[in-house]
Structure 1
Amino acid sequence: MNYRHAFHAGNHADVLKHLILSRIFALLAKKDAPYAYLDSHAGVGLYDLRGDQASRTGEYLQGIARLWRASDLPASCADYLQVLRNLNPDGQLRYYPGSPELARQLTREQDRLHCNEKHPEDGRLLKENLHFDRRVAVHLGEGWHVPRALLPPREKRAVLLIDPPFEQADELQRCVQALSEAIGRMRQAIVLIWYPIKEPGQLRRFYQQLAKSPAPKLLRAELLVQPADSAERLNGSGLVIANPPWGLEEELRELLPWLANLLAQGQPGWTLDWLIEEKTAG
């Protein structure tokens, strides 16, 4: 395992993923009932953008740094930006939240977090970064085992993020298997899969497999910062969301075009559609 997310922290893919995650937390908070947040491949939880790894690639300069400087932010960015301000109170962008820290700040006292990281060193750092919050449990097991190990939780609601490093050729297929297993164990769970946009043929097979999954409904949101004409670079990224909360599709239809223009590195684009539409009675 040589993938370390610190090299890519705060890039355009993180911005898409974390903005959508922040909106899901906001929509779930409209009801008082608690929920559990599960993160299968959690990373270290917090990143120093001026550290050796992030500064070596500088990917955040074309991602979160653009959002940080933007003046015309949509209202749907407010929660995400507040987390960043909390981490950077002097107004200088340095620290960036991974999904666990974003979730920790945007969930409520009655909610619980289960963050799993298999990489030994990253797992140790994750524990150090989150140990002070009693709502958070850190697990050091295999990320693909999270659905069977932690679903269903005692809460009636759950959000599961599946965000593997995509170092192995079969990881898109394993994402579909994890989604199917999660829905099989908790049909109403909100399940998100993040994926890179590189090789079109692989993605077509991925979409076909997703469309055959047992998810009751499945929304696809993609952001391209440059044309998807090279498998050698990260052209963009996407999230498929099983059981998205009501209101998310409408928000994303406004947010994605703005985000595409803001983060463009070439000809940008975006997609928002249903791979599985909810079946209506009758």
Structure 2
Amino acid sequence: MNYRHAYHAGNHADVFKHLTLARLIALLARKPAPFAYLDTHAGVGLYDLGGDQANRTGEYLEGIGRVWSNERAPALLDDYLGVIRAMNPDGELRHYPGSPELARVLTREQDRLHLNEKHPEDGELLKNNMRGDRRVAVHRGEGWLVPRALLPTQEKRVLLLIDPPFEQPDELERCVHALEEAHGRMRQAIVVIWYPIKDERQLKRFYQKLSKSNAPKLLRAELYVHNPDDATRLNGSGLAISNPPWGLEDELRELLPWLAQTLAQSHGGWKLDWLVEEGAVNAKPAVKDKKVR
């Protein structure tokens, strides 16, 4: 358990992931019915970009730092940037929200949040950071067990983020298993898997497993800041999104070119396609186990 996200907070991968999360929440909020937000590997929720960990890497300078100072950001960034501006009222970029805080601010009174963080110190920080919001429940178990433990929810709509640290070689495979378990328990759930773009051979196996999964439909969105054929560094990141709400594909088609141009380091690029199209004949039987509490 060595991974601490504070070293990477606000980098290009965070910008892409959190902007997409903000758009998913906005699209879900168009309907009055409540939804639940679940986060399997939540982190601490709030990050100090002026702190030692963030400054040791300086990754945020090539991520949110570029977006923060860009005066031509598309209107689709308004919700995402609004949260960050509220955290930095003097106009100086110092604080950055993790996915828990972003979701907490952007969700509504009728929505609920279940945030899980296994790391002992980070779990305690997350609990402290979320204190005072009765809609939020903080869990400190194994993130991979979240679908089994918390689904189905009483809300008929669910947004589940699977965002592990990718310290272990089997985590891409475990992401697919978690997605399948989530859809076995709530077929209509929106499941978002974040993944790093490094080893293309590993990713090809990951794509094949995703395309054969029980996801009713599965959208792949990728953002590159370096040429993706260099396996020695983080070249970009991807999101596999099952059951994306109507309108998200068009929004990403507008946002990805701008992000690729704004965040490119040695090479900017993007991809948007369907790994599983709606109605594909690869669905598996639903899991009928009882919900674990």
The TM-score with structure 2 as length reference comes to 0.95
Distance 2:280 2:163 in 1: 31
Q: Does 1:222 align with 2:222?
A: yes
Question: Structure 1 CA distance, aligned partners of 2:240 and 2:181?
Answer: 15
Q: Please give the secondary structure, in 2, of the residue aligned with 1:159.
A: strand
Q: Using the alignment, how far apart are the partners of 1:134 and 1:31 within structure 2?
A: 22
Residue 149 of structure 2 aligns with an amino acid whose one-letter code is A
Offset at 1:280? 8.2
Aligned partners of 1:65 and 1:75: how far apart in 2?
18
Q: Deviations over 1:75-117 (max 9, x none)?
A: 1100000000111011100000000000000000000000000
The answer to whether residue 210 in structure 2 is matched with residue 204 in structure 1 is: no
| Equivalent residue number for residue 74 of structure 2 | 74
Q: What is the aligned residue count?
A: 281
Deviations 1:19-72 (A, max 9, x none): 000000000011000000000000000000010100100000000010000011
Moved over 4 A (4+): none
The separation in 2 between residues aligned to 1:144 and 1:155, in whole angstroms, is: 21
The corresponding residue for 2:4 is 4
What is the SS of the residue equivalent to 1:9? coil
**Post-superposition offset of 1:279:** 1.5
State how far apart, in whole Å, the 2-side matches of 1:205 and 1:80 are: 33
Matched, 1:153 2:140: no
SS of 1:72's equivalent?
coil
Range that drifts further, 225-234 or 86-95: 225-234
State the AA in 1 paired with 2:82.
Q
Q: Which runs of 5+ in 2 are unaligned?
A: 282-293
* Matched residue, 1:30: 30
Q: Deviations over 1:167-218 (max 9, x none)?
A: 0000000000000000000000000000000000000000000000000000
Q: What are the residue-to-residue correspondences of 1:36-115 with 2, within 5 Å? A: 36-115=36-115
Aligned: 1:170 with 2:177: no
Q: Which runs of 5+ in 1 are unaligned?
A: none
User: What is the SS of the residue equivalent to 1:31?
Assistant: coil
Equivalent position of 2:253 in the other structure: 253
How many angstroms apart in 1 are the aligned matches of 2:120 and 2:36? 24
Q: Secondary structure at the match of 2:213?
A: coil
Note if 1:270 corresponds to 2:265.
no
Instruction: Please name the residue that 2:130 is paired with.
Output: 130
CA contact (8 A) 2:216 2:280 kept: no
**1:233 matched to which residue of 2?**
233
Percent identity over paired residues: 74
Counterpart of 1:190? 190
Residue 251 of structure 2 aligns to a residue in which SS? helix
User: Equivalents in 1 of 2:144, 2:267: separation in Å?
Assistant: 35
Structure 2 counterpart SS, 1:165: coil
Letter in 2 for 1:193: I
Contact 2:11 2:59 in 1 (8 A): yes
C-alpha displacement of 1:229: 2.4
How high is the TM-score relative to the length of structure 1? 0.99
What is the SS of the residue equivalent to 2:3?
Answer: coil
AA of the residue aligned to 1:89: P
